[in-house]
Amino acid sequence: MPDVSIKEVAKLAGVSIATVSRCINNPEKVTEKTRLRVREAIVETGYSPNTLAQSFRRGRTNLIMVVLPSIGDPFFTAVMRGVRTAAKAKGYSVIIEETQHNTMTDDEIGAMLVSRQTDGIILLATMSPFGSEVLSAKSRRRVPVVVGCEKVSPELADLPSVHVDNVAAARDATNYLISQGHKRIGMIYGQESSLLTEDRELGYRAAMKAAKLPLKDGWVVPGQLSISGARQATRELLKQPDRPTAIFCANDEMAMGCMHEVKAAGLGVPEDVSVIGFDDIRYAEVMDPPLTTISQPTEEIGERVMNRLCRRIEEGRGDGNGDSQIVPHDLVVRKSVGKPSG
Protein backbone atom coordinates (compact mmCIF):
# COMPACT_ATOMS: atom_id res chain seq x y z
CA MET A 1 0.00 0.00 0.00
CA PRO A 2 2.32 2.75 -1.30
CA ASP A 3 0.10 5.67 -0.31
CA VAL A 4 0.01 4.81 3.40
CA SER A 5 1.33 7.68 5.53
CA ILE A 6 3.25 7.65 8.78
CA LYS A 7 0.25 9.45 10.29
CA GLU A 8 -1.94 6.40 9.62
CA VAL A 9 0.64 4.12 11.25
CA ALA A 10 0.76 6.38 14.30
CA LYS A 11 -3.04 6.42 14.56
CA LEU A 12 -3.30 2.63 14.32
CA ALA A 13 -0.56 2.14 16.93
CA GLY A 14 -2.01 4.83 19.22
CA VAL A 15 1.23 6.83 19.36
CA SER A 16 2.62 10.07 17.96
CA ILE A 17 4.27 10.45 14.56
CA ALA A 18 7.56 11.19 16.34
CA THR A 19 7.30 7.90 18.23
CA VAL A 20 6.81 5.98 14.98
CA SER A 21 9.91 7.67 13.58
CA ARG A 22 11.94 6.73 16.67
CA CYS A 23 10.76 3.12 16.43
CA ILE A 24 12.05 2.95 12.87
CA ASN A 25 15.30 4.86 13.21
CA ASN A 26 16.26 4.54 16.90
CA PRO A 27 14.37 1.54 18.30
CA GLU A 28 16.63 1.35 21.37
CA LYS A 29 15.12 4.66 22.55
CA VAL A 30 11.57 3.29 22.67
CA THR A 31 10.03 0.85 25.13
CA GLU A 32 9.52 -2.75 24.09
CA LYS A 33 5.74 -2.45 24.37
CA THR A 34 5.66 0.59 22.08
CA ARG A 35 8.00 -1.02 19.53
CA LEU A 36 5.70 -4.02 19.29
CA ARG A 37 2.61 -1.85 18.68
CA VAL A 38 4.32 0.28 16.05
CA ARG A 39 5.88 -2.61 14.18
CA GLU A 40 2.58 -4.48 14.11
CA ALA A 41 0.99 -1.32 12.67
CA ILE A 42 3.74 -1.09 10.03
CA VAL A 43 3.17 -4.69 8.99
CA GLU A 44 -0.63 -4.28 8.97
CA THR A 45 -0.63 -1.08 6.91
CA GLY A 46 2.27 -1.96 4.65
CA TYR A 47 3.90 1.39 5.40
CA SER A 48 7.35 1.59 3.76
CA PRO A 49 9.22 4.79 4.61
CA ASN A 50 12.73 3.49 4.02
CA THR A 51 14.81 0.38 3.54
CA LEU A 52 14.30 -0.75 7.13
CA ALA A 53 10.52 -0.75 6.84
CA GLN A 54 10.84 -2.44 3.45
CA SER A 55 12.91 -5.09 5.16
CA PHE A 56 10.01 -5.73 7.56
CA ARG A 57 7.81 -6.56 4.56
CA ARG A 58 10.51 -8.84 3.13
CA GLY A 59 10.83 -10.53 6.50
CA ARG A 60 14.24 -9.08 7.44
CA THR A 61 14.90 -6.36 10.01
CA ASN A 62 18.66 -6.59 10.63
CA LEU A 63 17.79 -6.73 14.32
CA ILE A 64 18.88 -9.44 16.76
CA MET A 65 17.26 -9.93 20.14
CA VAL A 66 19.43 -11.09 23.02
CA VAL A 67 17.58 -12.54 26.01
CA LEU A 68 19.53 -12.46 29.26
CA PRO A 69 18.68 -12.67 32.97
CA SER A 70 20.11 -9.31 34.06
CA ILE A 71 21.70 -6.41 32.21
CA GLY A 72 23.59 -5.46 35.37
CA ASP A 73 25.30 -8.83 35.70
CA PRO A 74 29.00 -8.19 34.88
CA PHE A 75 29.36 -11.63 33.32
CA PHE A 76 26.63 -10.97 30.75
CA THR A 77 27.99 -7.47 30.18
CA ALA A 78 31.25 -9.04 29.06
CA VAL A 79 29.46 -11.57 26.82
CA MET A 80 27.47 -8.73 25.25
CA ARG A 81 30.69 -6.99 24.20
CA GLY A 82 31.44 -9.99 22.02
CA VAL A 83 27.88 -10.13 20.69
CA ARG A 84 27.92 -6.45 19.73
CA THR A 85 31.36 -6.69 18.09
CA ALA A 86 30.25 -9.56 15.86
CA ALA A 87 26.84 -7.97 15.19
CA LYS A 88 28.41 -4.71 14.06
CA ALA A 89 30.75 -6.55 11.71
CA LYS A 90 27.77 -8.33 10.16
CA GLY A 91 25.57 -5.22 9.88
CA TYR A 92 23.09 -6.13 12.61
CA SER A 93 21.72 -4.08 15.48
CA VAL A 94 21.03 -5.63 18.88
CA ILE A 95 18.07 -5.22 21.22
CA ILE A 96 18.06 -6.72 24.70
CA GLU A 97 15.23 -8.44 26.56
CA GLU A 98 16.02 -8.62 30.28
CA THR A 99 14.08 -11.35 32.06
CA GLN A 100 15.23 -10.71 35.65
CA HIS A 101 14.73 -14.48 35.96
CA ASN A 102 11.04 -14.01 35.15
CA THR A 103 9.11 -15.06 32.07
CA MET A 104 7.59 -13.16 29.17
CA THR A 105 3.95 -13.80 28.42
CA ASP A 106 2.94 -15.86 25.41
CA ASP A 107 1.26 -12.75 24.01
CA GLU A 108 4.45 -10.71 24.25
CA ILE A 109 6.68 -13.23 22.54
CA GLY A 110 3.96 -14.21 20.11
CA ALA A 111 3.55 -10.61 18.95
CA MET A 112 7.30 -10.35 18.44
CA LEU A 113 7.42 -13.50 16.35
CA VAL A 114 4.37 -12.63 14.27
CA SER A 115 5.62 -9.12 13.53
CA ARG A 116 9.10 -10.46 12.70
CA GLN A 117 10.59 -7.86 15.03
CA THR A 118 13.92 -9.68 14.98
CA ASP A 119 15.74 -11.85 12.48
CA GLY A 120 17.06 -14.11 15.22
CA ILE A 121 17.30 -14.68 18.96
CA ILE A 122 20.25 -15.35 21.24
CA LEU A 123 19.38 -16.99 24.56
CA LEU A 124 22.11 -16.34 27.12
CA ALA A 125 20.55 -18.93 29.42
CA THR A 126 18.22 -21.80 28.69
CA MET A 127 15.69 -20.79 31.33
CA SER A 128 13.78 -19.64 28.27
CA PRO A 129 11.27 -16.85 28.90
CA PHE A 130 9.38 -18.08 25.84
CA GLY A 131 8.54 -21.60 26.97
CA SER A 132 9.13 -24.72 24.91
CA GLU A 133 5.85 -24.35 22.98
CA VAL A 134 6.78 -20.96 21.56
CA LEU A 135 10.21 -22.29 20.61
CA SER A 136 8.66 -25.26 18.84
CA ALA A 137 10.12 -26.44 15.57
CA LYS A 138 7.48 -24.45 13.69
CA SER A 139 8.43 -21.22 15.42
CA ARG A 140 12.15 -21.84 15.02
CA ARG A 141 11.77 -22.19 11.27
CA ARG A 142 10.60 -18.59 11.37
CA VAL A 143 13.11 -17.20 13.87
CA PRO A 144 16.55 -18.85 14.25
CA VAL A 145 17.73 -19.29 17.86
CA VAL A 146 21.22 -19.93 19.29
CA VAL A 147 21.94 -20.58 22.97
CA GLY A 148 24.97 -19.16 24.77
CA CYS A 149 26.65 -19.82 28.13
CA GLU A 150 25.10 -23.16 29.06
CA LYS A 151 23.89 -26.37 27.51
CA VAL A 152 20.38 -26.52 26.11
CA SER A 153 17.51 -28.18 27.92
CA PRO A 154 16.12 -31.51 26.65
CA GLU A 155 13.08 -29.70 25.19
CA LEU A 156 15.38 -27.49 23.10
CA ALA A 157 18.02 -30.10 22.37
CA ASP A 158 18.10 -29.35 18.64
CA LEU A 159 19.21 -25.75 19.18
CA PRO A 160 22.90 -24.94 18.57
CA SER A 161 24.82 -23.63 21.59
CA VAL A 162 28.17 -22.23 22.73
CA HIS A 163 29.40 -22.73 26.31
CA VAL A 164 32.12 -24.04 28.58
CA ASP A 165 31.91 -27.52 30.04
CA ASN A 166 30.31 -26.45 33.32
CA VAL A 167 30.57 -29.92 34.86
CA ALA A 168 34.29 -30.15 34.18
CA ALA A 169 34.91 -26.55 35.29
CA ALA A 170 33.10 -27.04 38.61
CA ARG A 171 34.99 -30.27 39.13
CA ASP A 172 38.27 -28.42 38.56
CA ALA A 173 37.30 -25.73 41.08
CA THR A 174 36.40 -28.32 43.71
CA ASN A 175 39.51 -30.37 43.02
CA TYR A 176 41.65 -27.29 43.58
CA LEU A 177 40.14 -26.88 47.04
CA ILE A 178 40.79 -30.56 47.69
CA SER A 179 44.39 -30.20 46.52
CA GLN A 180 44.90 -27.50 49.16
CA GLY A 181 43.91 -29.98 51.86
CA HIS A 182 40.22 -29.15 52.31
CA LYS A 183 37.91 -32.02 53.22
CA ARG A 184 34.86 -30.08 54.43
CA ILE A 185 33.74 -28.25 51.31
CA GLY A 186 30.35 -26.58 50.96
CA MET A 187 28.68 -25.21 47.84
CA ILE A 188 26.41 -22.26 47.17
CA TYR A 189 24.47 -22.93 43.98
CA GLY A 190 22.24 -20.68 41.88
CA GLN A 191 18.66 -21.47 40.89
CA GLU A 192 17.28 -24.99 40.94
CA SER A 193 15.56 -24.58 37.57
CA SER A 194 18.81 -23.59 35.85
CA LEU A 195 20.79 -26.14 33.84
CA LEU A 196 23.89 -24.12 34.59
CA THR A 197 23.30 -24.62 38.30
CA GLU A 198 22.64 -28.30 37.73
CA ASP A 199 25.89 -28.84 35.84
CA ARG A 200 28.04 -26.97 38.33
CA GLU A 201 26.56 -28.91 41.21
CA LEU A 202 27.15 -32.14 39.31
CA GLY A 203 30.83 -31.22 38.90
CA TYR A 204 31.17 -30.38 42.59
CA ARG A 205 29.54 -33.64 43.67
CA ALA A 206 31.63 -35.67 41.21
CA ALA A 207 34.87 -34.24 42.64
CA MET A 208 33.77 -34.84 46.21
CA LYS A 209 32.76 -38.43 45.40
CA ALA A 210 36.01 -39.17 43.57
CA ALA A 211 37.98 -37.93 46.58
CA LYS A 212 35.78 -40.00 48.93
CA LEU A 213 34.87 -36.87 50.88
CA PRO A 214 31.61 -36.56 52.83
CA LEU A 215 28.67 -34.48 51.62
CA LYS A 216 26.80 -33.61 54.78
CA ASP A 217 23.24 -32.35 54.97
CA GLY A 218 23.17 -28.57 54.84
CA TRP A 219 26.46 -28.20 52.96
CA VAL A 220 24.83 -27.47 49.57
CA VAL A 221 22.60 -24.40 49.77
CA PRO A 222 20.91 -22.05 47.26
CA GLY A 223 22.22 -18.53 46.70
CA GLN A 224 19.81 -17.41 43.94
CA LEU A 225 22.73 -16.12 41.83
CA SER A 226 22.80 -12.93 43.92
CA ILE A 227 24.94 -11.28 46.58
CA SER A 228 22.07 -11.14 49.07
CA GLY A 229 21.15 -14.76 48.42
CA ALA A 230 24.74 -15.84 48.95
CA ARG A 231 24.97 -13.93 52.22
CA GLN A 232 21.99 -15.84 53.57
CA ALA A 233 23.43 -19.11 52.26
CA THR A 234 26.77 -18.39 53.93
CA ARG A 235 25.08 -17.73 57.25
CA GLU A 236 23.46 -21.15 56.96
CA LEU A 237 26.79 -22.82 56.18
CA LEU A 238 28.57 -21.13 59.07
CA LYS A 239 25.90 -22.37 61.48
CA GLN A 240 26.78 -25.98 60.73
CA PRO A 241 28.25 -27.82 63.77
CA ASP A 242 31.21 -28.91 61.66
CA ARG A 243 31.25 -25.96 59.28
CA PRO A 244 33.00 -26.18 55.90
CA THR A 245 36.56 -24.90 55.68
CA ALA A 246 36.00 -24.00 52.02
CA ILE A 247 33.02 -22.88 49.95
CA PHE A 248 32.58 -23.22 46.19
CA CYS A 249 30.24 -20.52 44.82
CA ALA A 250 28.56 -21.14 41.46
CA ASN A 251 29.25 -17.57 40.32
CA ASP A 252 31.45 -14.66 41.37
CA GLU A 253 28.64 -12.42 42.59
CA MET A 254 27.68 -15.09 45.09
CA ALA A 255 31.35 -15.40 46.04
CA MET A 256 31.35 -11.67 46.82
CA GLY A 257 28.36 -12.09 49.13
CA CYS A 258 29.93 -15.18 50.70
CA MET A 259 33.21 -13.42 51.48
CA HIS A 260 31.39 -10.46 52.97
CA GLU A 261 29.38 -12.69 55.28
CA VAL A 262 32.42 -14.72 56.36
CA LYS A 263 34.12 -11.50 57.44
CA ALA A 264 30.93 -10.24 59.10
CA ALA A 265 31.03 -13.38 61.24
CA GLY A 266 34.48 -12.41 62.49
CA LEU A 267 36.29 -14.96 60.35
CA GLY A 268 39.05 -14.51 57.80
CA VAL A 269 39.29 -15.37 54.10
CA PRO A 270 41.19 -17.62 53.52
CA GLU A 271 42.53 -18.04 57.07
CA ASP A 272 39.31 -19.59 58.36
CA VAL A 273 37.23 -20.16 55.24
CA SER A 274 38.51 -20.42 51.66
CA VAL A 275 36.22 -19.19 48.89
CA ILE A 276 36.29 -19.97 45.18
CA GLY A 277 34.00 -18.53 42.50
CA PHE A 278 33.05 -19.01 38.86
CA ASP A 279 33.13 -16.62 35.85
CA ASP A 280 36.10 -14.31 36.65
CA ILE A 281 34.06 -11.11 36.42
CA ARG A 282 35.92 -7.81 36.30
CA TYR A 283 35.64 -7.33 40.08
CA ALA A 284 37.25 -10.68 40.92
CA GLU A 285 40.86 -9.54 40.95
CA VAL A 286 40.15 -6.47 43.12
CA MET A 287 38.14 -8.22 45.82
CA ASP A 288 39.68 -8.42 49.27
CA PRO A 289 41.32 -10.86 49.00
CA PRO A 290 41.45 -11.30 45.21
CA LEU A 291 39.13 -14.12 44.22
CA THR A 292 40.25 -17.52 42.98
CA THR A 293 37.77 -18.45 40.27
CA ILE A 294 36.99 -20.21 37.01
CA SER A 295 37.47 -17.97 33.98
CA GLN A 296 35.26 -18.17 30.90
CA PRO A 297 36.17 -16.57 27.54
CA THR A 298 33.16 -14.26 27.71
CA GLU A 299 33.75 -12.12 24.63
CA GLU A 300 34.61 -15.18 22.57
CA ILE A 301 31.34 -16.80 23.63
CA GLY A 302 29.45 -13.66 22.58
CA GLU A 303 31.17 -13.49 19.20
CA ARG A 304 30.64 -17.18 18.52
CA VAL A 305 26.92 -17.19 19.31
CA MET A 306 26.38 -14.11 17.15
CA ASN A 307 28.35 -15.56 14.23
CA ARG A 308 26.48 -18.86 14.47
CA LEU A 309 23.16 -17.02 14.48
CA CYS A 310 24.16 -14.94 11.46
CA ARG A 311 25.00 -18.08 9.53
CA ARG A 312 21.59 -19.55 10.33
CA ILE A 313 19.83 -16.34 9.27
CA GLU A 314 21.76 -16.16 6.01
CA GLU A 315 20.99 -19.83 5.32
CA GLY A 316 17.32 -19.25 6.09
CA ARG A 317 17.36 -21.89 8.80
CA GLY A 318 15.37 -21.61 12.01
CA ASP A 319 15.67 -25.24 12.93
CA GLY A 320 18.76 -26.62 14.66
CA ASN A 321 20.91 -29.72 14.72
CA GLY A 322 21.71 -29.66 18.42
CA ASP A 323 25.46 -29.28 18.01
CA SER A 324 27.35 -27.59 20.85
CA GLN A 325 30.61 -25.68 20.67
CA ILE A 326 32.58 -26.16 23.89
CA VAL A 327 35.01 -23.33 24.66
CA PRO A 328 37.86 -23.75 27.16
CA HIS A 329 37.81 -22.58 30.79
CA ASP A 330 40.72 -21.75 33.08
CA LEU A 331 41.32 -21.88 36.81
CA VAL A 332 42.60 -18.48 37.96
CA VAL A 333 44.43 -18.83 41.28
CA ARG A 334 44.49 -15.76 43.52
CA LYS A 335 44.44 -15.22 47.28
CA SER A 336 40.98 -16.33 48.45
CA VAL A 337 41.99 -19.97 48.86
CA GLY A 338 44.48 -21.26 51.41
CA LYS A 339 45.19 -24.30 53.51
CA PRO A 340 42.50 -25.32 56.03
CA SER A 341 43.04 -23.99 59.52
CA GLY A 342 41.76 -27.08 61.23
pLDDT tens column, 296-320: 999 999 999 999 999 988 876 655 5
pLDDT band (50, 70, 90) for residue 8: confident
pLDDT at 126 (0 to 100): 52
Angle between helices 6-13 and 32-45 (to 10 degrees): 130
pTM of the model: 0.77
Mean pLDDT of the residues in the chain: 83
Least confident of 6-20, 49-63, 231-245, 274-288: 49-63
Q: How far is CA 331 from the centre of its chain?
A: 20
pLDDT band (50, 70, 90) for residue 19: confident
Three-class SS state of 159: coil
pLDDT at 58 (0 to 100): 47
Tell me the Cα Rg of the chain: 23
| Helix, strand, coil percent content, the chain, rounded in steps of 5 | 45, 15, 40
Per-residue pLDDT, averaged over 88-107, amounts to 72
Q: How far is CA 118 from the centre of its chain?
A: 19
pLDDT tens column, 110-123: 454 444 467 888 98
Superfamily of domain 166-296: Response regulator (3.40.50.2300)
pLDDT at 45 (0 to 100): 79
pLDDT band (50, 70, 90) for residue 281: very high
Q: How far apart are CA 330 and CA 130, in angstroms?
A: 32
pLDDT at 264 (0 to 100): 97
List, as one string, the DSSP characters of 175-237. Answer: HHHHHTT---EEEEE--TT-HHHHHHHHHHHHHHHHTT----TTSEEE-TTSHHHHHHHHHHH
pLDDT at 129 (0 to 100): 46
pLDDT tens column, 211-239: 999 988 899 999 988 899 999 999 999 99
